[in-house]
Structure 1
Amino acid sequence: MAPPLKIGIAGLGTVGAGVVRMLARRKDEIAARTGRAVEVVAVSARDPSRNRDCDLSGLRWFDDAVALAGDPEIDVFVELIGGHEGVAKAAVEVAIAAGHTVVTANKALLAHHGVTLASAAEAKGVGIRFEAAVAGGIPVIKTLREALLGNRIARVSGILNGTCNYILTRMRDEGLSFESCLDQAQKLGYAEADPTFDVDGFDTAHKLSLLAALAFGVQPDPDAIHVEGIRSITLADLEAADELGYRIKLLGVAARTESTVELRVHPTMVPKHWPIAQVSGVTNAVAIDGDAVALTLVGPGAGSDATASAVVGDICDLASGSSGTPFGWRAETLRPAGKAAIQRHEGGYYIRLAAVDRPGTAAAIARHMAEQNISLESIMQHRRGRPHGGDRAESAEDPAPVVLITYATNEDAVRRAIAAIEIDGVIALPPQVIRIEKD
């Protein structure tokens, strides 16, 4: 049997401690299946006195993660610190320079610096493994990098943020407001005190940039992605979607077009019968459409066990002798993603308007849609709403919610039509627009 694979772990939070426990618990099986023992020999964290519910006796302790990264007595550096700058970036750079393969769960680091780090790793002849960086315990990185190499991928899309999926699920199932569901998510630890990164779509964009690199050979670049979050989604939207046969999900979508790769993150209506529409709570899902195989992977997108499982899976691959390029393509072949041209996106649209009650309103809406060659599949008008909330009785002066469902059109036409409707003054509130994915 080959000599043990020696591991240094920087970051002993819930995931890092989970990795230590899992490797200890499964050490005999891992050695038997990979042909090589795996040993954690050194760790680094801020507080050596903290109880982490794992056996750290006999391990060398480093106060400085960068020093651990350069330690000549380790083979693999596991980075579980987080953040795309500072210590995490410096430590990964030092580990690569020292000839150590890196295993990381750091999506932000790879989304912002993936090409540079991959180039350095390839030049040094070492690897970067990052299964835990996207969708937690779902093996989507391995699937794209290895299992589906025989396919030409047309599209990768998914629910990549459990916080947003939890909020949308509770809003739909319990009739709660966005604010109320966000508060519950924060109390349960699903959302940070500052939830911006999650609910405004940036976390999903980081993950999508890595999936796009693997599927299409484009450079990871969150700035190339059109990003919208879920703050604008209301109960009225969820109820209308249900009535129309859809669910609303925050999706990350990377799709091959004739000339480029379209990258977008936004709330999306998906048919109820799609597997991804059935995914509730904090669960993640990724759908991959290839020319030979189409599949949907569903599983826990976060949590100490799920993320530790992905980290350990990468370590076991290394123990088996598997390496390869970080993104499945050599770094110099990765081409720029290009800024998402969302105005050229084509598809169906859900448009909710708070129409004022006066003669000519319906005609003005219809005229501006027709001027942009937008055909309407259906029009729904619900009872009047109260634009500013409150308990007062409804009044004839309240706007009337009108929902338009378009046939396939382009984003630019929809935006031009809405702008003209707003100029006419026939709607009382900013319109809601949600893209629709159909069979």
Structure 2
Amino acid sequence: MSEPLRIALAGLGTVGGGVVRLIETNAELIARRAGRPIVITAISARNRGKNRGFDMARYAWEDDMVILGEREDVDVVVELVGGADGPALALARTTFEAGKALVTANKAMVANHGIELASRAEAAKTAFKFEAAVAGGIPVIKGLKEGAAANYIHRVYGILNGTCNYILSTMEDTGRDFADVLAEAQAKGFAEADPSFDIDGIDAAHKLAILSSIAFGTAVDFPGVTITGIRRLLAADIAQADALGYYIRLIGMAETEVDAEGKRRLFQRVHPHLVHRDHPLAHVDGATNAVVAEGNFVGRLLFQGAGAGDGPTASAVVADLIDIARGDIGAPFSIPAAELDMAARADTGHRTGKAYLRFTVADRPGTLAEIAAAMRDAGVSIESLIQKGRVEIDGEERVLVALVTHHGPESAIAKALDLLEGSPSLAEAPLVMHILEE
């Protein structure tokens, strides 16, 4: 058998510990599938004295994790520290400068610096792999880069954050409100003490930006993702969606389109959607992730599974290591970084579809008429209207009014909301959720 692939591991948290245990437990199987052993030679983490459930004395220790990229006894660095910048980015750059390969689960770094790092890896003729950065143990990056490589992918979308999906599906099952379920998710470890990264959609946006690049051959454009999280959702929204035949899911969606001048444009949005109960994503519940890709020959592909956790994410990391051990380098984003299309950002106004709008209003005559007039003047056709439920805001009781529009342009909805802006009838800004049909 060939010489072992020697790896250094930066970060020994949940995923890092999982990688060590997976390599130690399945060493023989991994060696047979990789064609040579994969061995850990050096490690680094924030706290050397912490008990991590394995014998750390077996591996060389570096207090400064950036040094891992310079060690002569290391072929591949695995970065599991996280963060878009700082030590993780310094380690990545050092690793490529030394001509070594990098495997990471760091979606923030890939979304913000992926093209730079891909260029460095390509110049060094080495590997840069990040399967674990998107959807945990689901091999969606490999599926798009390899299994669907012959297809033009015209749309990719899905449930990309397990924390949000756990909260939404629990709200469905129990009828409880967002804040209550979030507190439970934090107590169970499904949500961080500061959950903003998840519930405000940033985590899903990082993943979507990466998927977009691989699916469409476009440069990663994380700042171009329009982001709306789930923080404002109420139990009443869940109930009303259910009554209409929908479930609510936080969906990341990306498409490419060609404008009137023949220029390619990229649409990327993370946004809570009403998903028709017959759609495959409607029944993805708990902390599960799922991604749909639509190709011109392969049709609709569905990737579904555990989107986080030590086992699934470690599995994705080690799968990348096995590919490297086999000699698979390839372009990190499927197409060489210099050839990725710098697509302009799409204008969403001309996009068409149905939408759910929820208004929190004062209980007084004329409010419904005002909303209906704004919709009429903006050219929005109302399919159904529900006035049901009350909430207390700043000590005052308010009424919830929800409506579903007929199929029409998003620009018309935006115009209607502009007409209502500043209205004393509205207690807060309206909530808009687009509808994902079957």
Same-fold call, TM cutoff 0.5: yes
Q: Any idea what SS the aligned residue of 1:435 has?
A: strand
Contact 1:165 1:280 in 2 (8 A): yes
Contact 2:78 2:104 in 1 (8 A): yes
Contact 1:226 1:342 in 2 (8 A): no
CA distance in 2, matches of 1:112, 1:149: 24
Match of 1:268 in 2: 273
Contact 1:21 1:55 in 2 (8 A): no
Does the alignment pair 1:353 with 2:359?
yes
Gaps of 5+ in 2: 260-264
- In structure 2, do the counterparts of structure 1 residues 49 and 406 end up closer, same or farther at CA, with 3 Å as the change threshold? same
Match of 1:310 in 2: 316
Match of 2:129 in 1: 129
Q: Any idea what SS the aligned residue of 2:416 has?
A: helix
TM-superposed CA distance for 1:355, in Å, is: 5.0
Match of 1:395 in 2: none
Q: Any idea what SS the aligned residue of 1:270 has?
A: strand
TM-superposed CA distance for 1:19, in Å, is: 0.8
Q: Which amino acid aligns with 1:33?
A: R
Matches within 5 A, 1:360-399: 360-382=366-388, 385-388=390-393
Contact 2:279 2:437 in 1 (8 A): no
Matches within 5 A, 1:402-421: 402-421=401-420
CA distance in 1, matches of 2:16, 2:426: 53
CA distance in 2, matches of 1:375, 1:42: 63
Query: Number of aligned pairs?
Result: 432
TM-superposed CA distance for 1:381, in Å, is: 3.0
CA distance in 1, matches of 2:204, 2:343: 16
Mean Cα displacement is larger for which, 103-112 or 172-181? 172-181
Match of 2:432 in 1: 433
Contact 1:77 1:95 in 2 (8 A): yes
TM-superposed CA distance for 1:334, in Å, is: 1.7
Q: Which amino acid aligns with 1:253?
A: M
Does the alignment pair 1:321 with 2:327?
yes
Q: Deviations over 1:369-419 (max 9, x none)?
A: 22222222222333x5244388x9xxxxx6553322112222221121123
Match of 1:147 in 2: 147
TM-superposed CA distance for 1:358, in Å, is: 5.3
Q: Deviations over 1:195-230 (max 9, x none)?
A: 111111111111111001100122222211100111
- In structure 2, do the counterparts of structure 1 residues 87 and 361 end up closer, same or farther at CA, with 3 Å as the change threshold? closer
**Which TM-score applies when normalising by structure 1?**
0.93
- In structure 2, do the counterparts of structure 1 residues 429 and 49 end up closer, same or farther at CA, with 3 Å as the change threshold? closer
Match of 2:208 in 1: 208
TM-superposed CA distance for 1:279, in Å, is: 1.0
Q: Deviations over 1:281-307 (max 9, x none)?
A: 111111111112212111111111111
Contact 2:246 2:276 in 1 (8 A): yes
Mean Cα displacement is larger for which, 237-246 or 373-382? 373-382
Match of 2:282 in 1: 277
Q: Deviations over 1:66-97 (max 9, x none)?
A: 11111122111111111111111111111111
CA distance in 1, matches of 2:18, 2:361: 54
CA distance in 2, matches of 1:78, 1:350: 44
Contact 2:253 2:270 in 1 (8 A): yes
Match of 2:237 in 1: 237
Contact 1:4 1:39 in 2 (8 A): yes
Match of 1:291 in 2: 296
RMSD: 2.0
Matches within 5 A, 1:30-179: 30-179=30-179
CA distance in 2, matches of 1:37, 1:115: 31
- In structure 2, do the counterparts of structure 1 residues 101 and 416 end up closer, same or farther at CA, with 3 Å as the change threshold? same
Match of 2:262 in 1: none
TM-superposed CA distance for 1:426, in Å, is: 4.6
CA distance in 1, matches of 2:127, 2:18: 23
TM-superposed CA distance for 1:36, in Å, is: 1.3
Instruction: Among all aligned residue pairs of Structure 1 and Structure 2, give the percentage whose two residues are the same amino acid.
Output: 45
**Which TM-score applies when normalising by structure 2?**
0.93
Contact 1:30 1:37 in 2 (8 A): yes
Mean Cα displacement is larger for which, 187-196 or 262-271? 187-196
Q: Any idea what SS the aligned residue of 1:108 has?
A: helix
Gaps of 5+ in 1: 393-397
Matches within 5 A, 1:215-234: 215-234=215-234
TM-superposed CA distance for 1:360, in Å, is: 4.6
Q: Which amino acid aligns with 1:409?
A: G
- In structure 2, do the counterparts of structure 1 residues 350 and 57 end up closer, same or farther at CA, with 3 Å as the change threshold? same
